[in-house]
Amino acid sequence: MLASFLNARMVTIYRVLDDGEVGRVARQIALRRDGTELGPEDLSDLDRLPTVNSELAWRECVLLHDIVHEEAPAGRGWRSVFPLEGEGGVIGILEIVADEGMRPREASLVTGVLRIVRNHLALLDYGERDTLTGLLNRKTFETSFGKLLARPNRLARNPTSNEPSWLAVIDIDRFKSINDSYGHLFGDEVLLLVARLLRNTFRGADRLFRFGGEEFVVVLDRASAAGAAAAFDRLRVAIQNHVFPQVGRVTVSVGYTAIRPQDVPASCIERADAALYHAKRNGRNQSHNYEHLLECGQLQAKQVRSEVELF
């Protein structure tokens, strides 16, 4: 609608991703005047994506939460950059390139449209996010697992790479005793702080879920076995070293597994759970890879029965 109304050369929506301390910018969709549409960029290599600071207009838009107008590079008309606001701040950028500078009435129209978009995003967040931590909820995981599988499926068709995606189940150790000893208010604060540490540890392309209670799930986007081990252990150490108000020291146990091309949610979660329970049985505050435990003989693969049982 904006492309048509403004007769723009190009309208692009970018997603702003947190990659540690660096904000990355990834195209979600772009529409040219001739009707050509560009789809989302591949998020498998975040280092390849430009940073928010690579464009002055992007930087000012994100930092100031305001519209930026400037002459487009190489004499390609005029560019207007608008912030897309979410609950956590600027989550995207709307960029409009036109032949002439945008008039105040047109900028006001775009701002009004973005207010509607923000309200729509808030409704989506209400249904898809955990109300306490703000992480994605279990319902979202179960309905979007097919989309998560698209990453390793694409990877399986690429013989030059052997990096799958990974799923981890993370459980706060002795969380019931925290609630019993300090009360549910401090228990909720532990959950909030663990969720914050999850966000600080993982990349924007990774997906974070709260499954309920003290259990969290992470889908780590494309990493080597060594990289996955380092990422999950980095989280474990960060939580172990964090000082939680009143409670003091909190630890987590982590079990994770490689996502296979033909996986279903239940089988993937079951493998990660098996590695998690191994960590729990062997002292807690550990991170274990299911496939590695199988290779070492510390776990036995569950036998799948071929016959159908009726009950």
Q: Give the pLDDT confidence of 43-69 residue by residue, as tens digits.
A: 767 788 899 999 999 999 999 999 999
Please list, in sequence order, all residues whose beta carbon lies within 8 angstroms of the beta carbon of residue 258, skipping any fewer than 6 positions away.
Answer: 164, 165, 166, 225, 228, 291
| DSSP notation for the chain | -HHHHHT-SEEEEEEEEEETTEEEEEEEEEEETTS-EE-PPP-S-GGGSPBGGGSHHHHHHHHHTS-EEEEPGGG--EEEEEEEEETTEEEEEEEEEESSPPPHHHHHHHHHHHHHHHHHHHHHHHHHB-TTT-SEEHHHHHHHHHHHHHHHHHHHT-TT-----EEEEEEETTHHHHHHHH-HHHHHHHHHHHHHHHHHHS-TTSEEEEEETTEEEEEE-S--HHHHHHHHHHHHHHHHH--BTTTB---EEEEEEEPPTT--HHHHHHHHHHHHHHHHHTTSS-EEEHHHHHHTTSS-PPPPP-SPP--
The mean pLDDT of 74-91, rounded to a whole number, is: 84
Residues 111 and 82: beta-carbon distance below 8 Å: yes
CA distances from 78 to 83, 94, 115, 159, 195 (A): 17, 14, 23, 43, 41
Sign of CA dihedral 261, 296, 215, 207: negative
- pLDDT-derived band at 42, boundaries 50, 70, 90: confident
Confidence of residue 72 (pLDDT cuts 50, 70, 90): confident
pLDDT at 160: 39
Minimum mean pLDDT range among 13-17, 88-92, 111-115, 143-147 = 143-147
> With 80 as the cut, is the pLDDT of residue 169 above it?
yes
The pLDDT of residue 274: 96
pLDDT: which is higher, 135 or 46? 135
Closest CA to 273 of 188, 202, 215, 194: 215
- To the nearest whole number, what is the mean pLDDT of the chain? 87
Share of the chain above pLDDT 90, in %: 58
∠ CA 48-50-55, rounded to 5°: 165
Active site includes 70? no
Distance CA 279, CA 272 (A): 11
What average pLDDT score do residues 247-260 get? 95
What confidence category does residue 2 fall into, taking pLDDT thresholds of 50, 70 and 90?
confident
**Do residues 222 and 211 lie in contact, with contact meaning Cβ atoms separated by under 8 Å?**
no
How many Å apart are CA 48 and CA 27, to the nearest integer?
A: 12
Q: pLDDT tier at 215 (50, 70, 90 boundaries)?
A: very high
Query: How high is the pLDDT of residue 282?
Result: 95
User: Catalytic pick from 214, 291, 307, 309?
Assistant: 214
How many whole angstroms separate alpha carbon 154 and alpha carbon 175? 38
Q: How far apart are CA 225 and CA 183, in angstroms?
A: 39
Q: Give 295-310 pLDDT, tens digit per residue.
A: 999 988 875 544 444 4
Of 214 and 206, the one with more pLDDT = 214
Query: Average pLDDT of 222-247?
Result: 94
In tens, the pLDDT along 95-132 reads 999 998 899 999 999 999 998 888 887 777 677 888 89
Q: Could you tell me the domains of the chain?
A: 2-127 (3.30.450.40), 136-295 (3.30.70.270)
